Amino acid sequence: MIKSNLIISIAHFLRGIGHRMISRVWRLGAGTRLFLLTIMYSGESFRRFHLTLREIYFTGVMSLLIIIVSAFFVGMVLALQGYNTLQKYGSSEAIGVLVALSLVRELGPVVTALLFAGRAGTAITAEIGLMKTTEQLSAMEMMAVNPIARVVAPRFWAGVISMPILAALFSMVGVLGGYLVAVPLIGVDSGAFWSQMQANVDVRADIVNGVIKSVVFAVACTMIALFEGFDAPPTAEGVSHATTRTVVISSLTVLGLDFVLTSFMMVV
């Protein structure tokens, strides 16, 4: 009796795992389909660009403050920590290189994407989830207006346009923050700070690659946020779970993609 109960519970457990795996794969497929449909119905978001412009305002402009403040602090911390280590080897002038390379290659795109997922991604998921819950998307369909063209695509392109801009701002403001700590505070020579940086940061290998990274992250983060909203069960609980999933999945995807992209770029 106990033995058969055990077997049943193990079978139940395994079935649960299988069921979850299948639903993950199903969601991946559905997300990809939404992505392709979004690309297909993107015409309108450019023909009526004010729709996209509005979303750039909400995803990009409204994220400016959090991006700039975070970047400033990240740059300052980098300079402090970097100085601590570099001075042991007597090369504290290399602090500019350290700050710039960390920001341009990694922290700029990655931290921007993480903040974007938390700030704009959740807003997108919650908004679309609620539009679905309150039948606004259904109403749009019944009016012969395609919700993917009218609601999803403009938000997608707004995200893809906003994120590289935000990432570039993050890197630049971070470097300025690092400068503020390194030069006036610690007393590193200003000329050495910039010249070492310029000698070691390559426009193509570092800056352009950073921009490429942030474009890829933008596509991933925005699409995840849109899909979670679109796929959310039409209940309060469903929308709240979808919002949480947006942050979790976006963060993991960004970090995973970062590894893949970095290893690709290393080879080149």
Phi, psi dihedral angles at 42 (to 5 degrees): -80, -15
Candidates 17-25, 118-126, 199-207, 260-268 — which segment interacts with another protein by CB under 8 A? 199-207
Nearer to another protein, 103 or 249 (CB): 103
130 binds another protein (CB under 8 A): yes
145 binds another protein (CB under 8 A): yes
Among 66, 77, 80, 172, binds another protein (CB under 8 A): 172
Tokens 């457990």 belong to which residue? 13
244 binds another protein (CB under 8 A): no
236 binds another protein (CB under 8 A): no
- Give the shortest CB-253-to-another protein separation in angstroms: 23
53 binds another protein (CB under 8 A): yes
Among 198, 236, 248, 260, binds another protein (CB under 8 A): 198
Among 143, 266, 267, 268, binds another protein (CB under 8 A): 143
135 — alpha (psi -120 to 50), left (phi > 0) or beta?
A: left
Candidates 15-23, 28-36, 160-168, 243-251 — which segment interacts with another protein by CB under 8 A? 160-168
Candidates 23-31, 126-134, 228-236, 247-255 — which segment interacts with another protein by CB under 8 A? 126-134
Contacting positions for another protein (CB under 8 A): 53-54, 56-57, 60-61, 64, 89, 91, 100, 104, 130-131, 134-136, 138-139, 141-146, 150, 162, 164-166, 168-169, 171-173, 175, 194, 197-203, 206-207, 211
